[in-house]
Amino acid sequence: MKQILVATDFSSSAANAMKYAIEIAKVLAVDICAIHAIHPTEGINNSTYNAIFIEDYYNNKRTALKLWAEKLAEESFFPVTSVKTLCDVGFLKTVVTRYLKHNDVNLLVTGVIGATGITGIVGSNASMLVAKVKTPTLIIPPGSKFPETPVITLATDYETRLSAEDVNALKEMVKAFGSEKIKVLYVAEKSGLKHIETGETRLKNLIHDTHLDFNYTNNSSPLNGIMDFIQTHETDILCLVKHHHNIVYRLFNRSTVNQIMNQTVKAILVLHE
């Protein structure tokens, strides 16, 4: 893993996501970039006076971001030299995708506001980012703290095939965290023994350096099955696979994420086919 990108709007939710990202960066020995998107009309307000001094406004934002990131790095005993910052003008999706295009980023981290669902710069945009960005994305709710040895649960219906990049990212995280196993939760509206056996074999071949603990839900609702499992089994990071045609992707919409985030303090790692 080369670099972790953290989207921030300076909120407490974003600060918590940054702290979580720093802990991951310390384990993986990688750098962090904190990125902030300045809305195209921010600081102008249709005022000629403001328009003249807009560059001063942008510079103040850049300074504020730098100080914000340095403060959190110092509080977490993370070297400031390993943290860079970028304030860019544009919508968050545009700013993030532009950065990803020109930089080697292996993980995108963003916060979420749990009490009101996914709202705000690093709120509603969290669901937008996972829909538009193909980089593995980790969504951190306010109450989620990075554990010493994270327990990872992968929810799947065995229909998806993870991309090589995402498999490597997941394996690298598991190895660095020292996790002895990954919990696999099979969720599907319909199941068949052959389908399950084939899916298990495929996952074992992909993630062969870690023990896979296979679990199954008897709940007729895949969403409720996931919720029941993470509430009754130790889980720190819930992995969902983004794919337009599989059941987990159909579950992964704004409503579902709101329900999971509002009922748990689990981090969600969105992987891609």
**What pTM does this model have?**
0.84
103 Rama sector, left if φ>0, alpha if ψ -120 to 50, beta otherwise: beta
Q: What is the CATH number of domain 3-140?
A: 3.40.50.620
pLDDT, averaged per 10 consecutive residues of the chain (273 residues), comes to 89 91 91 92 62 80 95 94 93 90 91 52 60 81 83 83 75 79 82 82 84 85 83 87 58 58 74 71
Look at residues 252, 272, 250 and name the one whose alpha carbon lies nearest to residue 260: 252
Q: Give the pairing of strands 31-38 and 3-7.
A: parallel
Residues with Cβ < 8 Å from 59, sequence gap 6 or more? none
For the segment(s) 152-272, the CATH number from 1.10.3720.10, 3.40.50.620, 3.30.390.10, 3.30.300.170 is: 3.40.50.620
CA 205 from centre of chain: 25
CA–CA separation, 206 and 105 (whole Å):
22
Q: Do domains 3-140 and 152-272 have the same CATH topology?
A: yes
Sequence spans of domains, the chain = 3-140, 152-272
Asked whether 110 and 17 are in contact (CB, 8 A), the reply is: yes
